[in-house]
């Protein structure tokens, strides 16, 4: 079984986001970029499945500028077998990403796609579901545990009421939650070895896919600053303050 893991290059989660002066987008100038945390978890899970002899190959793919090569190499250093880089100079929205991934899945005869439930830059949480719909495959989202049993995957997922366990037949699409695993630390020798591993490069235009944006960003604004809170000595003071603010 081949596993495909789509990954995305985003602003590092430790960076304080800055908005451009014209409020058109996030300012990416001189900002540290890294692999989306949910994608890193997906890579780790795919590698663990391969280590258990449940998969024969782990393929990672990323869509975007040529700079996405760095996160593909990182995933290979973690233990993925090879990478596919789809190069695009323009923004690619979730539906277009799903269409591109469908092409790769069909080309590589993949039977399982594991990807992060969302990217921390836009929090869309759409690509996995759209890909499953385009492929006509079953899907299991927000996975906190994955077990492959024969021709199906048993997935424990987090829901508002607790945990839900479901079985989905392969081929399938699985999206990962934060509590699925702890990604491994990448060692320097592995990073150096990853530079020589095979990576296919594809120009987006050659795939013949309509990637026209369906969404338009009108304005990007930073969230309003929170007001300074106050401390109260006892419950009576708390109730009095809540009454002043007409909360109760």
Q: Is residue 125 in some structural domain?
A: yes
Q: Is residue 35 in some structural domain?
A: yes
Q: Is residue 33 in some structural domain?
A: yes
Beta 162-169 vs 112-116: how paired, if at all? unpaired
Q: Using alpha carbons, list the distances in angstroms from residue 123 to 38, 119, 120, 126, 145.
A: 11, 5, 5, 9, 22
Domain total of the chain = 1
Share of the chain above pLDDT 90, in %: 68
Q: Average pLDDT for residues 229-248, to the nearest whole number?
A: 89
Assess whether pLDDT exceeds 90 at residue 16: no
* Total residues belonging to the chain: 248
Phi, psi angles (nearest 5°) of residue 235: -65, -35
pLDDT score, position 140: 95
Assess whether pLDDT exceeds 90 at residue 196: no
Range of the domain at 10: 2-223
Q: Note the pLDDT tens digit of each residue in 199-227.
A: 899 999 999 998 888 888 888 888 888 88
Q: Note the pLDDT tens digit of each residue in 83-109.
A: 999 999 888 999 999 999 999 999 999
Share of the chain above pLDDT 70, in %: 100
Q: Is residue 23 in some structural domain?
A: yes
Q: Is residue 239 in some structural domain?
A: no
Q: Is residue 242 in some structural domain?
A: no
Say if CB 17 and CB 126 are below 8 A apart. no
Q: Is residue 245 in some structural domain?
A: no
Q: Average pLDDT for residues 189-195, to the nearest whole number?
A: 89
Q: Is residue 230 in some structural domain?
A: no
Please report where in the chains the tokens 């708390």 appear, as a residue: 238
Q: What is the pTM of this model?
A: 0.85
CATH number (domain holding residue 182): 3.40.50.620
CA atoms of 34 and 10, how far apart (whole Å): 6
Say if CB 19 and CB 219 are below 8 A apart. no
Q: Note the pLDDT tens digit of each residue in 126-183.
A: 999 999 999 999 999 999 999 999 999 999 998 888 899 999 999 999 999 999 999 9
Q: Average pLDDT for residues 221-236, to the nearest whole number?
A: 87
């Amino acid at each position: 079984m081949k596993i495909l893991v789509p990954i995305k290059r985003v602003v590092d989660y430790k960076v304080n986001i800055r908005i451009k002066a014209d409020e058109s987008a996030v300012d990416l100038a001189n900002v540290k970029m890294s692999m989306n945390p949910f994608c890193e978890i997906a890579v780790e899970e795919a590698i663990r499945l391969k280590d258990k002899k449940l998969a024969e190959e782990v393929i990672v793919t990323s869509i975007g500028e040529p700079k996405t090569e760095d996160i593909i190499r990182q995933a290979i250093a973690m233990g993925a077998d090879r990478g596919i880089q789809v190069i695009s100079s323009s923004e690619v929205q979730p539906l277009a990403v799903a269409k591109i991934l469908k092409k790769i899945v069909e080309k590589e005869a993949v039977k399982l796609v594991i990807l992060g439930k969302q990217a921390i830059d836009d929090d869309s949480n759409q690509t996995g579901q759209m890909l499953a719909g385009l492929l006509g495959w079953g899907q299991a989202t927000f996975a906190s545990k994955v077990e492959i049993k024969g021709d199906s995957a048993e997935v424990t997922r987090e829901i508002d009421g607790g945990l839900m366990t479901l079985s989905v037949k392969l081929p399938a699409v699985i999206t990962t939650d934060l509590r699925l695993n702890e990604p491994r630390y990448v060692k320097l020798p592995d990073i150096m070895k990853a530079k020589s591993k095979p990576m296919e490069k594809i120009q987006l235009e050659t795939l013949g896919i309509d990637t026209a944006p369906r969404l338009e960003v009108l304005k990007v604004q930073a969230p309003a600053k929170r007001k300074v809170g106050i401390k109260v000595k006892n419950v009576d003071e708390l109730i009095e303050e809540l009454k002043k603010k007409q909360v109760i």
